[in-house]
């Protein structure tokens, strides 16, 4: 392994830059050449490559987003597209890949490995924390804090007006951000994709709170819930309860950006170093993860056949605290 | 003037608590009794009053929202409602009022003054900065910074994906937040209620930028624009240009809350002290304002017959900078 | 167990309020009475107690510091002082204690247990993360982020002036904040209490960086290091190297305060609930901890005879990244 | 005027990058060539120049520090040094200068103008707000907010321990940051360079507060005060009062950095555009300033012979509020 290509793919996540920096610096430490691939698989197919050195990654550790940019590529989903990408990698003498992203990115590299034998290690970077094989993905800690800071601001207004707010946070298939920002934000109820929520029970709980304390209430809704969007749930609650002044806020894309927390920067730094060391030691077709402070590696097949469970006990805690 | 009632009304704004604290502390300094009136005109009608002292306002200087809460009152819009409110004020021996809020709050006190002779001074508290007679209203500085912090986060994502974002900020009839957060956020275009925007020109500008630099663009849209909501404008732009990946984010209520900036805390502190001093000196039916670092007072009639202009030159600057 | 006393002790840490809130709410959920004890052991001896309910802990989840206040008590270190404290607890019918603090707080409760049989559970709250028996203590995540935010600001100035900064962070006997804020802040060197640092090696490294890149460098120093304070180390480096413009910044007490991160709020919430449940299930003389997302309990003796190791691998990562 | 050199000089201030960006973009808008001069007068003498375009200033609007770097130059203080600098400017065909910095930077350009006829406009960039001829200097708004955020954190700890804190903020000859962060931080006393402070009066005030409320107190001290540093004042207070647990925190360099507020970004943007327009219109030997929302220009002589007064009324407000 002499020349490693690094790229980011899928939705951007805070800490991706810290991971890129770690890959480049660890690469130099271990006498590898590192090549940056711009715009994910799209740039890989087009050969949008650049040699990277310490200077390339100066002063990016603290920045949100990804300096290598990210993009979706339909072409890469075809064997022909992947052949083109592989040819570009060969042309540039790249003999190993490190890709930072979610399960789509991982699957892409897995196919490239199966079809063309390109060794790779995936670094899990996504704010949703929905990838098995690691306690945490890069970006999740920052995104949850961003959501909580927004919730804190909305609570100021909710308290000032004795108002009910439905706040929609990210997490299409995963309730991590919702549960943790909900507990941290003092939500009266948390609605997640993994569970069905009864509108009647919600209304009953809200009415109880509303009548007793005549104060504000926050309901946190994960965007991909079975019970509908925050807007739809708010509408249903409104119909069954004339009690509250209800408002809806969708936090949306601002959860993706921002300077990463120390946690995401350190996690990304460790994973970046580990990915370079892993490739160097012959590991491939796997993802680096963190488990109880230890770096681990898991094979593609193992991760993809494993569900990522939410911590059930956290929901129990949330209910006790929302009395 | 021995006993002054203080209340907040209308939408909450960061710094309202600093103003309440200043009224209470200045009141004590000048040997007045200060009575807190909860939930604006609604609480005034219901007699939801509480004596205030240094302890009541401890540790609120840095908090968003309003500890006296705010509410809308239909009843107060009727002469009968106002009579009730006045009777409550008399019953509690209140001989002067300080109300913190926007033009609705101001108008309410004006009617109470006309109909019942209750002396008052209004403190302008609203994030929109849309009240004449003062350079700045309480909350505007904080809200604009909150908008800019959100824009900074969205820019991280926009840059990572070469994407076009439409970001809707508050300001129903006023482009202040939009213009200033737009300049501060490096927006390519700013759409405000005070001006008509041509979608064709916007598309042309965006296409030029898109083709030339192939990078991200942010368009800031004030919520009350003649040209439609951010969602509507984004839709129209999308139809005329297949070039961009477009997204919309509505910042919404999170712009209201949050710990006030130093500017809003100092502004609120000065206005709170000035309102107590003004009432004590016999001023009434007027609003305290700030003009070039100096405290000023303006009569209700003067303020209500005066437009609040945006600074036209700021738009010119925004255009030069968005080349 | 019907009536539980809760208090905070030692240095304050962000998240202590979230823990107090969780104890009170979980107490109510399980039909216990909860009594707040003000000013730690000092207030316990003086009988500075207050019944707590949902209202007492309203809107404190997001606040730094501790609403129950904290204080040092020399008297409690004597058997007589502890007898007084126990008598107060009995007088108020308190039959269980939950104390939030560091090892001093823990030791105090242990003695009260040994001498008077008072059941208790300790919740680890200290920014230093220096208590064994838990992966994380309450406040550490927030304090490290606060340190990193300060480092980010100082880096702006360091970069603008090609300057060398020594930044002293908290951690008298523990390098946790230093190592993690150092990695997250991109420090060229990290000096911790657990390791001897050679000034000569440091100078050599800095000179190399200085000559090669002619740019800024940050050195993070934990306050309690064997190698001296940041000021002393900076002085020694200055003498051996005329190359740099050096500055020292001591972050100091601002690392203690601030609104807790989601992580500290959720950690504190879980630990607060677990402490109530633990006492109810007959657990005592132990500390609640978190280990790989699971709540655990450890006896006093076990924890006090166990060292809290830093993660050695983190130092290795820091060195690879500071090439 | 066809080719304008732009540089930053003196201590860095948040918003300098926004000013550089505005100069470059306005330059392009008006068909000028813009040359960046690195490291202030040092780089000017050495010819450390670079052509600037839209790309050079991409994504810097929101960054603290200065991308053109800053440095002190002893050589430039001599006529020989300035001759060298002027020769470099001529060699690079630069026929106008825009320098961003404090009075040292201004004086430097004034000498270059007198000795060599080089037209220039100064943009006031310094966190101290100590330059006459403008209501605000670039960086002051951000630095004051940074100070207030730190004070808020320290207050959490002060309140938790009933403690007295002395907090030293920047402002060697100017009490602006101290007064405004003091009012915004709820300080019991504010010590500024412009006024003598009696330690006895301070002790009396603190003892009164301490005995009455038994709570925390914050004293804000500007670094350059006649009454000594925060450390010295705290020592004197300690000796005369055994009452308090006192601590000192020196905020130091972290006040310089950080992402600029909207206010500083907009101010810098306006001043940057105005400086280009001013040079183009033949203005020289002057500084751009803002006065009540309007751009103004003042000659060097006028500014240097004018004191920058603090707003006396603000001190009065601070005293009323600290009862």
Consecutive H or E run containing A233: helix A230-240
- Tens of pLDDT along A76-95? 999 999 999 999 999 999 99
Query: Which chains does chain B touch, 3 or more C-beta pairs < 8 A?
Result: A, D
Please provide the average confidence, as pLDDT, over all residues in chain C: 93
Please provide the average confidence, as pLDDT, over all residues in chain D: 93
What is the predicted pLDDT for the residue at D214?
54
Q: Which residues of D touch C70 (CB under 8 A)?
A: 160-161
ipTM attached to this prediction? 0.96
What is the predicted pLDDT for the residue at A193?
87
Query: Can you read off the two tokens belonging to residue D169?
Result: 């903020």
Catalytic residue among B103, B128, B141, B264: B128
Query: Which chains does chain A touch, 3 or more C-beta pairs < 8 A?
Result: B, C
Nearest to D186 among B61, B145, B147 (CB): B61
Q: Stretch D92-103: mean pLDDT, rounded?
A: 97
Q: Which residues of C touch A259 (CB under 8 A)?
A: 152
> Does the pLDDT value for residue D83 go beyond 80?
yes
What is the predicted pLDDT for the residue at D242?
59
Minimal-distance CA residue of chain D relative to C149: D258
D296 compared with D227, residue with greater pLDDT: D296
> Does the pLDDT value for residue D77 go beyond 80?
yes
Look at residues A217, D292, A257, A163 and name the one whose alpha carbon lies nearest to residue B160. A257
User: What is the rounded CA–CA span in Å between residue C258 and residue C262?
Assistant: 12
- Tens of pLDDT along B26-59? 999 999 999 999 999 999 999 999 999 999 999 9
> Does the pLDDT value for residue B64 go beyond 90?
yes
Active-site residue, D128 included: yes
CB spacing of D156 vs C71 below 8 angstroms? no
What is the predicted pLDDT for the residue at D160?
92
What is the predicted pLDDT for the residue at D244?
61
> Count of alpha carbons within 13 Å of D150, Cβ hemisphere only?
36
User: What is the rounded CA–CA span in Å between residue D226 and residue B169?
Assistant: 46
| C-alpha Rg value of chain A to the nearest Å | 22
Nearest to B22 among D141, D263, D321 (CB): D321
Q: Which residues pair with A7 in a beta bridge?
A: A99
> Does the pLDDT value for residue D312 go beyond 90?
no
- Contacts (Cβ under 8 Å, ≥6 apart) of D234: D166, D246, D247, D248
Please provide the average confidence, as pLDDT, over all residues in chain B: 93
What is the predicted pLDDT for the residue at A170?
94
Catalytic residue among D12, D103, D128, D264: D128
User: What is the rounded CA–CA span in Å between residue C185 and residue D15?
Assistant: 22
Nearest to B259 among D54, D152, D292 (CB): D152
CB spacing of B321 vs D184 below 8 angstroms? no
What is the predicted pLDDT for the residue at B211?
54
Minimal-distance CA residue of chain B relative to D261: B145
Residue D33 binned pLDDT confidence (cut-offs 50, 70, 90): very high
> By a Cβ cutoff of 8 Å, what residues of chain B touch chain A?
8, 11-12, 14, 16, 39, 63-66, 69-71, 146, 150, 152-157, 159-162, 165, 247, 249-258
| Sign for the pseudo-dihedral over CA of C224, C226, C232, C233 | negative
Catalytic residue among C12, C103, C128, C264: C128
C-alpha distance from C281 to closest chain D C-alpha (Å): 31
Nearest to C250 among D14, D65, D250 (CB): D250
Percent of chain C predicted with pLDDT > 70: 97
Size of interface C-D (CB pairs under 8 A): 111
What is the predicted pLDDT for the residue at C212?
52
Query: Which chains does chain C touch, 3 or more C-beta pairs < 8 A?
Result: A, D
User: What is the rounded CA–CA span in Å between residue B253 and residue A158?
Assistant: 9
What is the predicted pLDDT for the residue at B108?
97
Residue B196 binned pLDDT confidence (cut-offs 50, 70, 90): confident
What is the predicted pLDDT for the residue at A276?
98
Look at residues D257, D320, D275, D272 and name the one whose alpha carbon lies nearest to residue D64. D257
What is the predicted pLDDT for the residue at A306?
84
CB spacing of C135 vs A292 below 8 angstroms? yes
Can you tell me whether residue D92 is helix, strand or coil?
coil
Q: Which residues of B touch A256 (CB under 8 A)?
A: 153-154, 156-157
∠ CA(A206), CA(A212), CA(A218), 5° rounding?
35
- Contacts (Cβ under 8 Å, ≥6 apart) of C310: C174, C175, C176, C179, C192, C194
Catalytic residue among A12, A48, A103, A128: A128
Q: Which domains does chain C have, with CATH numbers?
A: 3-139+260-304 (3.40.50.450), 141-256 (3.40.50.460)
Q: Which residues of D touch C165 (CB under 8 A)?
A: 253
Q: Which residues of A touch B39 (CB under 8 A)?
A: 162
Most B CBs within 10 A among D152, D212, D262, D317, hence the mutation to make, goes to D262
- Tens of pLDDT along D135-188? 999 999 999 999 999 999 999 999 999 889 999 999 888 899 999 999 999 999
D205 compared with D278, residue with greater pLDDT: D278
> By a Cβ cutoff of 8 Å, what residues of chain C touch chain D?
8, 11-12, 14, 16, 39, 63-66, 69-71, 146, 150, 152-157, 159-162, 165, 247, 249-258
Most D CBs within 10 A among C156, C166, C223, C255, hence the mutation to make, goes to C156
- Tens of pLDDT along C45-86? 999 999 999 999 999 999 999 999 999 899 999 999 999 999
Nearest to A266 among C184, C215, C261 (CB): C184
Q: Stretch D217-246: mean pLDDT, rounded?
A: 84
Please provide the average confidence, as pLDDT, over all residues in chain A: 93
- Tens of pLDDT along C265-313? 999 999 999 999 999 999 999 999 999 989 999 999 999 888 877 778 8
> Does the pLDDT value for residue C17 go beyond 90?
yes
CB spacing of B12 vs A161 below 8 angstroms? yes
Q: Stretch D214-220: mean pLDDT, rounded?
A: 81
C-alpha distance from B46 to closest chain D C-alpha (Å): 31
Residue A245 binned pLDDT confidence (cut-offs 50, 70, 90): confident
CB spacing of D321 vs B144 below 8 angstroms? no
Nearest to C257 among D12, D146, D157 (CB): D157
What is the predicted pLDDT for the residue at A179?
96
Strands C120-124 and C96-101: parallel
C-alpha distance from D309 to closest chain B C-alpha (Å): 12
C-alpha distance from C184 to closest chain A C-alpha (Å): 5
Q: Which residues pair with A34 in a beta bridge?
A: A4, A52
**Segment among A56-70, C118-132, C223-237 with least mean pLDDT:** C223-237
Burial per residue of A218-236, b for 16 or more beta-carbon CB atoms within 10 angstroms, e otherwise: bbbbbbbbebebbeebbee
Q: Which residues of C touch D41 (CB under 8 A)?
A: none
Look at residues B78, B60, B77, B81 and name the one whose alpha carbon lies nearest to residue B69. B60
Q: Which residues of B touch D22 (CB under 8 A)?
A: 321
Look at residues D141, D156, D190 and name the one whose alpha carbon lies nearest to residue B262. D141
Q: Phi and psi (nearest 5°) for C169?
A: -110, 170
Most A CBs within 10 A among C142, C321, C322, hence the mutation to make, goes to C321
What is the predicted pLDDT for the residue at B193?
87
What is the predicted pLDDT for the residue at D243?
57
Minimal-distance CA residue of chain C relative to D165: C253
Q: Which residues of D touch B185 (CB under 8 A)?
A: 61-62
The secondary structure of chain C in percent helix, strand, coil, rounded to multiples of 5, reads 45, 20, 35
DSSP letters along A22-80, please?
A: HHHHHHHHTT-EEEEETTHHHHHHHT-EEEE-GGGGTT-TT-SS-TT-----SGGGSHH
∠ CA(A147), CA(A148), CA(A149), 5° rounding?
95
Minimal-distance CA residue of chain D relative to C147: D254
CB-CB contact of B163 with B215 (8 Å): no
Size of interface A-C (CB pairs under 8 A): 123
- Tens of pLDDT along B167-183? 999 988 889 999 999 99
CB spacing of C250 vs D252 below 8 angstroms? yes
Can you tell me whether residue A167 is helix, strand or coil?
strand
Q: Which residues of D touch B136 (CB under 8 A)?
A: none
Q: Which residues pair with D100 in a beta bridge?
A: D8, D123
C-alpha distance from B38 to closest chain D C-alpha (Å): 23
Would residue D32 be called left, alpha or beta, if left means φ above 0 and alpha means ψ between -120 and 50 degrees? beta
C-alpha distance from D145 to closest chain B C-alpha (Å): 6
């Amino acid at each position: 392994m002499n020349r490693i290509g690094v790229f980011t793919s899928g939705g951007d996540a805070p800490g991706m830059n810290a991971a890129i920096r770690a890959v480049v610096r660890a690469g130099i430490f271990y006498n590898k050449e590192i090549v940056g691939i711009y715009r994910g698989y799209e740039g890989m197919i087009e050969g949008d490559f650049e040699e990277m050195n310490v200077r390339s990654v100066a002063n990016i550790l603290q920045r949100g987003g990804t300096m290598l940019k990210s993009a979706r590529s339909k072409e890469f989903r075809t064997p022909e597209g992947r052949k083109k990408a592989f040819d570009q990698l060969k042309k540039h003498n790249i003999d190993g890949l490190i890709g930072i992203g979610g399960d789509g990115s991982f699957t892409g590299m897995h196919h490239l490995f199966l079809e063309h034998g390109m060794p790779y290690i995936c670094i899990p970077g996504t704010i949703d924390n929905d990838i098995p094989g690691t306690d945490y993905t890069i970006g999740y800690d920052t995104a949850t804090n961003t959501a909580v800071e927004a919730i804190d601001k909305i609570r100021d207004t909710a308290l000032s007006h004795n108002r009910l707010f439905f706040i929609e946070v990210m997490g299409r298939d995963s309730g991590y951000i919702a549960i943790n920002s909900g507990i941290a934000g003092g939500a009266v109820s948390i609605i997640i994709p993994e569970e069905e929520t009864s509108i009647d029970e919600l209304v009953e709980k809200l009415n109880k709170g509303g009548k007793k304390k005549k104060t504000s209430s926050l309901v946190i809704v994960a965007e991909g819930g079975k019970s509908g969007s925050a807007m739809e749930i708010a509408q249903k609650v409104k119909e069954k309860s004339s009690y509250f002044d209800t408002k809806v806020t969708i936090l949306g894309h601002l959860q993706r950006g921002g300077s990463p927390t120390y946690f995401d920067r350190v996690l990304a730094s460790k994973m970046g170093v580990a990915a370079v060391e892993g490739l160097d030691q012959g590991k491939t077709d796997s993802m680096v993860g963190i488990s109880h402070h230890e770096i681990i590696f898991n094979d593609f097949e193992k991760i993809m056949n494993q569900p990522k469970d939410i911590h059930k006990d956290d929901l129990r805690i949330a209910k006790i605290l929302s009395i």
